[in-house]
Structure 1
């Protein structure tokens, strides 16, 4: 018994393993080309209805509408050899002439002994199979357009026809049709004028079509994939160009032009080709030898018409064609009533179903409503838990809701906030600026980040960042704007505190600078006092000498007073941004620290690249001078520490120039390079290499330049020199 069960399982597995069939479909053209797509659809539809085996279809496109030469085809053969080297196909289906010719040439090389079915083959010649020893491996469906019957149909439908324009191209299929047209044109040339064209540029062709006599002319549209300039068209693009300017009926030969504007005709059908060849494939899968399946040499063409075009040109086909396929035909009264019963039955069924499931539906809705209420309550608690002030408002700017944090910020309750606008809680300037931002967001559907300062109802100053975005309703309409606020008041105050701390940390250097500044005037005053004393003791003091003494003394005292004034101004924080001169800031820094640098045996040079232009910066002047002072002091101290050769003069070069978007300041010293291990850390807070350093200086320089003035500060080594580069935007960029 166990042996029988094991044998049964193995036998069933063997049967199952052999029920799968692999088919390769090789198209001459490309995916998206209606003819090839319709053949594939018909094949796949037929295969999907086959119950005896699972059929796996692999589809490959040769794309020879766009490229078709011997070198390309040889490359394809090599590619397919590599691609399908390890696969065994039960059957190969090729569509259209290029794939057919390719398979004849490379069958032995690529798919030896594999049966092949073909379809869509123009001018089919059985001799080809005999000559290439493929008679026992290939059969299929020939394709031929019935030109004779289409000419006959046109002449019957248009008995007063005077002009027939035939539009074709120079593709392989086009040439084949052209050969078949010659005897037919000869036969009908005495009945009406026939003009054949396959050598026009598309615009010239449009001109010719637009000039046709609309009362007595007809067009037979064969193919048009390339015009004489080599411009490639899809089948829809080329036909649309002709249809757009045509005022006469257009007949065709292929069904893929139907429903695009042709009247119709006896059409070669891709679907019929695909159905026929796929039915042959099923015969092979059912055990029939391919050599026993005869070639279908008579193409399965169908009379097909577009009702809209028949109606447009008042064409009656009923006397000449029986049971044609007509698309876009409006339903007749009979057909409408024949569907009424089905429709009524469906309505009854639907109503019955609704009655049965109504109670369950109501219960589910109640459950969903409960879940939704719970979710709303959860979202409300979640919103109130978030410490950031949050609000949302409609497109009119009226508040729809907020969290507790926002209500606390404006010192109001939710009920007092809802329905009001920003103008009810903020100053006109702040509210108006935010209204402009909101209007832009509602137009662009983007996000926005902005910053503003305002006083709360308790007269407390707040610095706020607003992050805004547009939200949509479930139906896709714009609901309004949601805003999450970030209170950065403490951060702003902390930064300002750090700036002041940095200034205080540098006061020692400043006092030393003042001492150097006062050194010369004090010596000068001492000499003047001694001189006036000597003159007095010798009774040589004259009124003029006293006057000169007073004048000279006042010059030195005013200079010392100005030094103190500069020192006080430097310590004051800038309250707002303004436009100021780079050269003026550098001169004032030079007056503070210049002599100290000079006495340290350092030559400081200012190089203005834009000599005739006053370079301006929009920002905080005192903070900017603090950055310059910090960088120059650091350079001076480093040079003094490392300069053991007191007779050798060191250098600090300051380059100032204007670029397209920035004013650029470079401070270069030759006091030795910064260790590459730490050069990327020198702007970090509290980072210092000095025993008594605070680590504030360069950190605050970066904060001032990049955060407060929207610029860039960088450092790099240039051999033994250190280069600090400051880039600050022009006013027009900053604003």
Structure 2
């Protein structure tokens, strides 16, 4: 049994080993072949061309470093040698035969001819494969890819400006640049770029084109370049006689005949006698294109991979050539790569010397530190013993502090919980608030001038307030969303610069909408803006303004009608009052004559009645005079002048005192009385009427007093005259300013009932107010105001 069991185990191990070594690798290889990606590299020029070799090498090395299995096919169009339609036809048939039944996953083209061939034939030959290009200048990319998609790549941008600046740094006295280029399309476009760069860098430099004639004539002209000039090489492959010369070979030939430094725009020129320059690297172009192709092969959409427009150049110089022209390496740009430098022990082992120096310094430092700490250790040993008791005490304090820390931890936990709740409430408020809220980020140009604003955040109410159905993506600019420039951009920039909140109205002319906008600074780059649609409010304002205008017109019309009626009424009152005085004077005269001529024959009752009639006539005459005064006060024009109110009160009081010589009454001025701007005559009438009332209603007092004072507010002076007379019941105060209205009979107190009405009329003509307060049995106070007018007004 043991033998059989051992045999079975051995057989199983043998089968497993066979499967592992022979069968399974076959299946693995087959599976890998099924998933292998096919890459086609199409080169515009021949394999022996250095530029093409560098580009293709950069692509292949990048694909190899990816560590994946690719089926890579490399083709060369040799377009420099065979730039003809027959060559294109041959290549078409050749590639149709070779790749017709092979699915190409990505095409990588180098230079213009390959890109054009790939785009023209990919639908027929390469199953519409995506194309990644390199070695094509921006103008060529624009022309070749117009109207075509599924393309990306690396643009070839020669740095003529950088090379010219480097040459000027080496030779500030430079006056002429001899430019070598052929008459191909790429050669002509390079010449135009150099013209433009030279004009921007140094307009006074003269450019001499070396492109006409055969290559022998060009070499002769290059050899004649003066000491204040340089030669700038571009690409030169064939001359006007059709002679083909390799890039590197012709570069060497030019450098051999030149008496001045030769600069180059392409990396392949280095090592063939050129001094250097800002050189375009074919290898860098190929590496970048290879990385883009890997992104496409890994499933990334080629339309999401933008065309690379950056620099693929770097400054490179040849030490031997610089030395032959006595040019110091310190004159070349600092980031330059210098080849053929003489051997230097320090330079070649620079890292070693630096590392050794650092190690020596560190070791010295460590020794000093060790000596220092040895002395410290002895001191620490002594201090440790002393600190033992302190540590014990500290431990007790820490134990006591543990409870405090726990309490603080609980408080911090509660604070964090409150912060989370606050954040939640803020977010709910932000999402539910009725006003629109949006966060903008200004888009500035190089001169920090605002060009646009970008949406960073907004709530749903913003769209409702804007009354728009457009879709706004975070990160989009206003112009991208609405197609127009936001006219409030300068305000937003001012808020960002000053930090001050601004409120303003904005108008959307397109949709005839109005918004109330509050803008405030959130941080150094963002602005918070609250929007409120006030279109309905503005419409209501317009309607109200229109109604107000109509109302003002109606009020003006009614006022004119009322003024006309009042004027007519005043004229009527004046005429009637004046005309009534004549018959009253006649009645008084007739009664006086009767009393003088027949007084003795008239019985006592008749004489009493005639006396009463005569007294009534006198009272009627007095009332008409007062009414005339009131009418005059109403109709008279104001003659404003500066009036000393204190002098006016004293003068009126003296006149009144003279009219009542038997009265014991005092005038007390409680405050200073100001100078006012008023009509002196009418103001005197007001003061006379006020003092007259005080004299009348204090006649029952043994010691009568009138107290005068004033106060100044922002707009007016307020005067008061308080007496200690009989006063009145305030419930009847409404009658006091009516014509002929009295609270006492004429038997009790003399008067016509027009004095207060006249006061009110005159004060109102001055723009002031008047009112009266009183307490029965205590006294009354009359108030009036005069507007404050500055002297220079």
Superposition TM-score, scaled by structure 2 size: 0.40
Going by fraction, where is helix more abundant, 1 or 2?
Answer: 2
Q: Which has the larger radius of gyration?
A: 2
Superposition TM-score, scaled by structure 1 size: 0.43
